[in-house]
Structure formats: structure tokens, C-alpha cells
Structure 1
Amino acid sequence: MKPDLMSPQLRSRLMDYARLMRIDRPIGSLLLLWPTWWALWLAADGRFPSLGNLAVFTLGVFFMRAAGCVINDFADRKVDRHVERTRDRPLTTGRIQPRYAIALFIGLITVSFLLVVFFTNTLTLYLSFGGAVLAFIYPFMKRYTHLPQLFLGAAFSWAIPMAWAAEAGELSRLTWLLFTANVLWTVAYDTFYAMVDRDDDLKVGIKSTAILFGEADLAIIGMLQGLVVMVLLLVGMQAELGFFWYLGVATMAGLFGWQQMLARDRSRKGCFEAFLNNNWAGFVVFAGLLLDKLLRG
């Protein structure tokens, strides 16, 4: 048996940092990854995206999502103790000091920025500043507006114009259609997520679309999901995509219906399962796009 070279204290510390970056919960990275890949494949215009861009933006997704989680927990470190789902997070319990979290956030942003500087183009570099600003300000918006999910949508969607610029060298109307679809989708699924914490958020004064929408929450989420499907159909028509794209979008619509069923009683468990199901919604659209490209190629 090999000796354990890592002390229990070091292992515990590393696990705390992994939890801070949500390495143990990849759902956020996947929800950010699928639309980034949609953009890369659509921007490639009939061919496959470059392996360099695929590697840069896949890594960038994981680094930027980790950075977003770190700054989110920094912003919420004093209120997370009052929320059932978050009261044991490392910053809230004091297992990680705030200054180390800020240092980690800066490090993750710097690595992401260097990927853009060394491996993409000038337009993508300019766009990256907007992405960094959105990643920083989103966690603080829940104190000032009931629409923090809209800011999250913009932050999660900013990889779309960046990936498009890196692959195509320019932006187009199609870029912003895809951006719009993803903002709407993000607001919808993050409202499910906010519904999990709604009772706790009301107690501590945190704002969200789940609170804003009130009893109309499922109806408004349904309308947002319907708009997502409509905009993605427009994307398919403008990009002259084929059967498998539309099949992917139709499957997403079916999954949206299933999410409404999961959350129908507004229980924490049901709302969280509805949120998690969006990983499959993003995947089926990408699968449809990939199949369309493969069959046409």
C-alpha cells in the first residue's frame, strides 16, 4: 500500500477550495458549455470549429464558471448562513478567509484572460472585458433588483459573442439571436433554482425573479421557455439548418414541459430537479446541431 502523502488538513483545505469553485457540482459549467458550443459550431458556418477555439472556450467555461462561483460566495458570505442550502459553504463557515477567495477569483479571471490574449483575436479580447464585468457584478445584483437572473443570463450568454468572434472574426445578427435565446433560457432555469431558496431569501431580503413572479412563477417560466423555442427556431431558419436541429429544439420543448411537471407543486426537490434537467435541454440542442453538421459534411 502506498503511503498517503497528503495530510488530512491539506486534503480538507483542498476540498474546501474545490467546493468554493463548485468542482463537485458541474451543472453550472455544463449549462454554460452547451450554448458556447452552439456558438462555435454555428459560427464555423458549415465546417467544424478549430480545435484551438474548442479547447480555449471549453477551458474558459470552466475557469469563468469557477470564478463566478467564488465571487458569488464572497458576496453572499454573510447571508448564506441563513439559507438552508448554503449554510455550510466554506466562506460562510470561515473555513476559507475572504481575502483568499478574492485572490482565487483574480487568479481564475487572469487565466481566462490569458487564454483569450494568446489564443484568440482582437475582437474576442475586447469582448472579454464585458464578460469579466458581468461575472463580477452579477452576485451583487440580488441586493438591488428582483432581476438578478437577467444579469446572470447576460453573464452566461457572453461566451456566445466571444466564441463567435474567435471562430468567425466578426459578429452577426445570428450571434445576437442565439444570445437572446440563451438569456431567456437562463432566466427561466435560474428562476427554478431561485424557487428552491425563495422562503429563505424572503427572510433575509435577497431579491430574485422567483419572488418577483410570485404565484405566476410557473406561467412566466413557461412563457420564457416558449420564447426560447421560438428564437431557436428562428436561428435554425436563418442558419438554414436541417431536420436534426429542429428535432433537437422540439426535444428541448418536450423537456421544458417535463420541467413544468416536476415543479408543479413548487417543492424544493421538484424545483431543483427541474433546474438540473436543463442540462439535457442544452445537450439535445447541441446534439441536433452536431448531427446536422455531420450529415451535411
Structure 2
Amino acid sequence: MMQSLQCRDLRAEVRNPVRAYARKFQRYLPSSTPLLPITGYSGNSLTIDGADPLDVNYKLRARISLLHASSSAMANESTPLFTNKSTPSTRATWYNYYELTRLHKFPLGSILVFWPSAWGLTMAAYSIQLPVRSLIIQTIMFAIGSTLLHTAACVLNDICDRDFDRKVERTKNRPLATGVISVSAATLWLLLFVVASVALLATANRTAFLVGLIGVFPLHALYPLMKRWTWWPQAWLGLAMNWGFPVAWISVTGTLNKEIVGIFFVGTICWTIVYDTIYGCQDVRDDAAAGVKSTSLLFGSWVRPILCIFAAVFVAAVTWAGILNHQGVSFFAISVGGTGTFFLWQFLTWKVEDVDDCGRKFEANGNMGIVLWAGMLLDYYLEVR
């Protein structure tokens, strides 16, 4: 009987030596240790669900899983061992393209591009007492333009980051990461929104149009690459997201007040560093494993006190710009006071390790924008009535 079993094992090894080799490896693991499902392979890099790289048995478990997968592929040659995730696995629907633009989350994201434009329009309108009708028309135009530009930026970001996105839990199901939408199709979708954004921008005066083009090329265009080049991609994002402030000011006045615009613009960059660093804290572990650089990783355990400094600079910049623009009491009471109160609440209640709370605090910054704008609008109304 023993000889029969040994002969059977020997025949199994001859038929499938890879599986036999995997069994030998598995002897060195506890019997309760499960194998890991392999979800992707590129060169010498494995993507394994449920794997903790800090686990001392990680590499051994990965090797055994790979061997078992190889043996299964040998047994059934019609089943590919690894799927090419860059090739669409299912037919894309209209919702996949809608999701690619992030419009399914509207106004989140788009509103953060719009607020600097709204602030610039209103402060400039206050300074020259622009008629209400003109302010309303320009505000609507910039709201549409901000949405178009943000959607284009999201599509470009997903094209550039599709390999990173597959390694991050929060982004792994995005249409380009899963392969539902091809890169070529996404590129055509991107061009559509870029052309629409530039066409709308062309309705502004010549100076505003030329300055606005810088916001599209290179600021938004280069942002996806910054997380590969520098630990400060959020600073570059601040330039891109808030470029609407100087463009809006020029659109209203025809000129650029370097002092007021410069001070306020620096403040908005600090604001972007605050909210996008909080946003990035959702993904710090996955980003570190994927090799993505960010201020969320750079600041580490000092993230809260450092962001408090950036928030204070933003409030100080808003105050200083308001003084230079001769803003009234409503501006300082509501815009400055409300913004300062918001940041006080945010940092006192922010749970850095709580992924859900990081998401909520990020979204709250969009709501803060309306508080800042409300003081400006009231100040403007009292000035032009």
C-alpha cells in the first residue's frame, strides 16, 4: 500500500513538477497559512490580494501562490495565467466615461477650482464697483469653465496614474485602472474637454485668455508627473487649482494688481496644500508601497502642526489682501472670521488615522469656500447698491 502511494506521488510529480515543487515550499509555512490570490503580474512584480509586505512569510507565500497558479495554467492552457489589465475586459458604458470625469461626485473637486475664481471676480468687482449683471455673467462663465477644466484634469490624471491606481485600494476600481476604458478612448475624451475649456476661456479679454492658458498648459498638464518627481506635488497642485484667481481678476479689471493678487494667490496655494494633504492621508500606506510622493508622506507624524501653519498663512494672506483692497467690515467679520473658525474646528476634530474622517475634512474645505465668498459678496453688495 505504501509503495502504491509513493508511486502515485512520483507519477504526479512527473505529470506536474511545478505543483510538486510548490508543495515542498508550503511545508515551511504553518498549516493555517492560506495561499494568496495573484491579481496581476508585470516583469518581476506581483500584485497579490490580502498581502502584507511586512509579513515575514510574504515572499514565501507569494512564491508558493505563483507556483500553484503556474501549475493550474499548465493544466489548462486555454486559461491565461495573468490578465493584461490595460486591455478592456468589458464593454465601456456611458457611466464609465461619466465616472472618468468625476462628474458623478459633482460639485466635489470642481468647486475647489471654482472658489479661487469666484473670490478673484468678487474682490476685483468690489475694487472697481462692477455692475451686478456683469458679475453674475462672469461668475456663471467661470463656474462652467472650472467644471470643464477639472474634468479634463481628472481624465489626464487617470491616464498618467493608471498603474499607480491599481495599487491603491481607493482608486483600484477606476475605469482606466480596471481596463474598462482604453487609453486611446480616454485621450479622445480628454481632448474634448480641453478644447471646450480653451474655447470658453477665449471669450475673456486677450490678457485673461493668455494668462489662463498657463493654467491649462503647463500647470494642470504637468501635475500628474509631479508626484513622481517631488515630495511637494501639492504645491504644484496649488498653482494649478488656484490659477483662476489672477485670471478672474484680469478678466474684470483688464490689469493685474500684483500686490493684492500675489498675496492672495500665495495664500490659496497654502490652502490647497492643507486640503490635499488631508486628502492624501487616506492613501499613505498604499502610496508608500506604490512609490507615490506626497506631502502626506513627507510630513509624517508632524502633519497636523505643519498644516496648521499653512492654514494660518492662508488666513493671514486673505486678511492682508483685504486690507490692501480696502474691503469692509463684512469681509473681515465673515470671510476672515469664518475661515479662521473653520480651520480651528477642522484641526481640533481631525482624526489623522481615520480614512473616513480624512475624506470628510477634505470635502468640508469645499464648504469653507462659500463662507469666504459670502463675506465678499455682502461687502460688494453694500458697496454697489
With normalisation by structure 1, the TM-score equals 0.93
Opposite residue 296 of structure 2, the aligned amino acid is A
Q: Which residue of the other structure, out of 102, 109, 129, is the alignment partner of 1:22?
A: 102
- Residue pair 2:116, 2:243 contacting (<8 A) in 1 also: no
Q: How does 1:1-297 map to 2 (within 5 A)?
A: 13-25=93-105, 26-44=107-125, 45=127, 46-47=129-130, 48=132, 49-117=134-202, 119-132=203-216, 133-172=218-257, 173-247=259-333, 248-297=335-384
Residue 94 (structure 1) shift:
0.8
Q: Greater relative contact order (Cα 8 A, min sep 6): structure 1 or 2?
A: 1
| Higher mean C-alpha deviation, range 240-249 or range 50-59 | 50-59
- Residue pair 1:255, 1:281 contacting (<8 A) in 2 also: yes
> C-alpha root-mean-square deviation of aligned residues, in Å?
1.5
- Residue pair 1:67, 1:108 contacting (<8 A) in 2 also: yes
CA distance in 1 between counterparts of 2:250 and 2:277 reads 30
In structure 1, the gaps of 5 or more residues are 1-8
CA distance in 2 between counterparts of 1:61 and 1:129 reads 13
Q: Deviation string for 1:212-259 (max 9, x for gaps)? A: 111110111100000000000001111111122112221111111222
Residue 121 (structure 1) shift:
1.2
- Residue pair 1:191, 1:209 contacting (<8 A) in 2 also: yes
The structure having more radius of gyration, on CA atoms, is 2
- Residue pair 2:282, 2:359 contacting (<8 A) in 1 also: yes
- Residue pair 2:165, 2:171 contacting (<8 A) in 1 also: yes
| Higher mean C-alpha deviation, range 203-212 or range 241-250 | 241-250
Q: Deviation string for 1:80-108 (max 9, x for gaps)? A: 11111101100001111111111111211
Opposite residue 120 of structure 2, the aligned amino acid is A
| Higher mean C-alpha deviation, range 201-210 or range 54-63 | 54-63
Aligned to 2:67: none
CA distance in 2 between counterparts of 1:176 and 1:296 reads 24
Residue 50 (structure 1) shift:
3.7
Between the two proteins, what is the percent identity of the paired residues?
32
Q: More helix per residue: 1 or 2? A: 1
SS at match of 1:187: helix
Residue 265 (structure 1) shift:
4.1
- Residue pair 1:147, 1:209 contacting (<8 A) in 2 also: yes
